[in-house]
Structure formats: C-alpha cells, structure tokens
Amino acid sequence: MTQKNKGTEPIATEIRCAGGWQAADDRCVLAYDARFLRRKRLQTAQGQGFLVDLAQTVSLNHGDAFVLNTGALVEVVAAKEALIEITGPDLLRLAWHIGNRHAPCQIAPERLLVQHEKVMADMLEKLGATLHMVEEPFSPEGGAYGMGRTHGHAH
C-alpha cells in the first residue's frame, strides 16, 4: 500500500537519535509496532500530518526525532501499551523461553515486559512466572549485533 502525501504536508527523510538533538517543535506518540517503519503518513500530537519517507526501514526509539523538510523536529514518544510484567525467582530461565519464541522483551534486573498475548501468558504461568497486566511504554531489547529489530533467522 502506498502512502500518499496530502498536498503540502511536510516530509521526514532523516532521523536524529535520542540525545543528538534539542528542542522538538512537536511530538508523535507511537506504539512499539508503529515505531518500525520506512514510509508512512503520521500525525503529530498537535494534529499536523507528515509523511515519513526514509531510505530504509528503521526501528525508532523513544527520544529519537524526525527531521522534517521544513526544519522542524518531531520527537518520537513511546506510547503506553498493554503489556505483561513478568516477575519470579527465575527470570533468566523465563527470558530464555521468551527468546526461544522470538518475542520482543524489555529486560530489567527485577522484571521482564512482553506484549500482551494470551498464548505467551499461558506459557509463562505454566513455567511458574508471576504475571501482572500493566500499561506503559514498551522498549524491548534490540536485535542481535546491535542492529535494532531482526527479521527472522536470515542475517
């Protein structure tokens, strides 16, 4: 599906990484899945539409910014999402099982976070995990070799 630029909307062809810019003009709140893109029409928090047209698909992080052809910067904000918070005495083992399913996982010393999915929740409960449903931004670990998200097993 082709995304069309509606008239004179600004276009973003460049991204600045978190910490590499200052003073955003607006922000764009995006869930984890929506932060993986190459070409897409988005809308800022103030209601301004713009077209993202990047040379390659990128995985955006909270705090990155779109550089519009107008010179404006639009901050990427990670949206709150329905997640499963995983705790328990054996987080390393639980993380291994999550990774074995190739599911994105946010890792912290005291907990793991995964996207809310019934099959995943059932598996984790059977493995002895304590689960809590939470709503917060999701920023899972990047793919292997520090290259953001991965696409299956082909490297």
Taking only the tens place, the pLDDT of each residue in 128-154 is 999 999 999 999 987 664 555 544 333
Binning the chain into helix, strand and coil, the percentages to the nearest 5 are 15, 40, 45
Q: Higher confidence at residue 45 or residue 8?
A: 45
Mean residue pLDDT of the chain comes to: 90
Q: Which region among 20-29, 95-104, 144-153 has the lowest average model confidence (pLDDT)?
A: 144-153
The residue written with tokens 């809310």 in the block is: 116
pTM: 0.82
Q: How confident is the model at residue 89 (pLDDT cuts 50, 70, 90)?
A: confident
Residue ranges and CATH numbers for the domains of the chain are 11-78 (2.60.260.20), 80-144 (3.30.70.790)
